[in-house]
Structure 1
Amino acid sequence: MTPAPFVVRPVVAEDLDAWRPLWDGYNEFYGRSGATALPEEITESTWARFLDPAEPVFAMVADDGERILGLVHYLFHRSTILIGPTCYLQDLFTVPEARGRGVGRALIEAVYERAADAGAERVYWHTHETNATARRLYDSLADDSGFVVYRH
């Protein structure tokens, strides 16, 4: 049986209940669950930002008409080395049963399109060095900058 086709589209308010399990899955993948889970206030604020046209934070989903298969969150910011905005792809997640169907690729390419429409000269993102499956996809879509991320 051929998997149902999907579309990538911006989130709408009615997507909250379908988006939430993917958001929780993404956070669990990165160790933010149980005692280290994000406070509910952060999730509520994040969702509200996606729906606020004054915010530079956006979300899209891959939808097959029955369910949401994947999510991507991205934002625009200024840079000291470029005139136009820079696009940071912050979160990408697909449900396990949708992996290998091109969902992640389609979500990234949709961000590339939105970034180009906004005049962004660069799209970038981070992933953990051990995320080998995702890195195979990323290596086919972008260059590894070689930079190491530090945070405080």
Structure 2
Amino acid sequence: MASTKSTVAEVFAKLPPVLSKFFQQYPPTPLVKYARKPISFKAGNMNPFLMSINKATKKYREPIFSLRKQSEIYKAALEFGLESLLPTMNKKFGLEKFRTKKPMKGVVRFKGSKDERTAEARRVKREEAIAKADEIITKIRGPKYQRKVEKRKLGPKNLF
């Protein structure tokens, strides 16, 4: 038993001061189950990375460690492969940060100019107008134009 305590002490001696001090105040996760939600600041399993709540006044307190300090602790733990021993935190790091990040509006769907946005509707409207053009002109010009349209539908005469 004494040999395991000495090996643990040797491991802690190799850790940077920020991390060793943190683990002295807040033991690693396997030893203590820290809360995943804000709870009373007097509770033994209070998460130092999350806000705490005063049950009497119902007011929230800031986390013990600021976001900057959290990132320092996390980066030091990541360097030694101990990030899984830290309590849960709201701050995201590395690729996880970009996987959960919502893309910007203009990147997903570019707004474009008004001309570009309405181009498709105008094209459809223009095609419908061209298709109905003969009917509209016939109403205005009369039956003489109607005969001309019918001749055009028959196609050109074959001279040979």
TM range (shorter): under 0.3
Could you tell me the TM-score, scaled by structure 2's length? Answer: 0.24
- Identify the structure with bigger relative contact order (alpha carbons < 8 Å, sequence gap 6+): 1
Could you tell me the TM-score, scaled by structure 1's length? Answer: 0.25
Higher helix residue share: 2
Larger Rg: 2
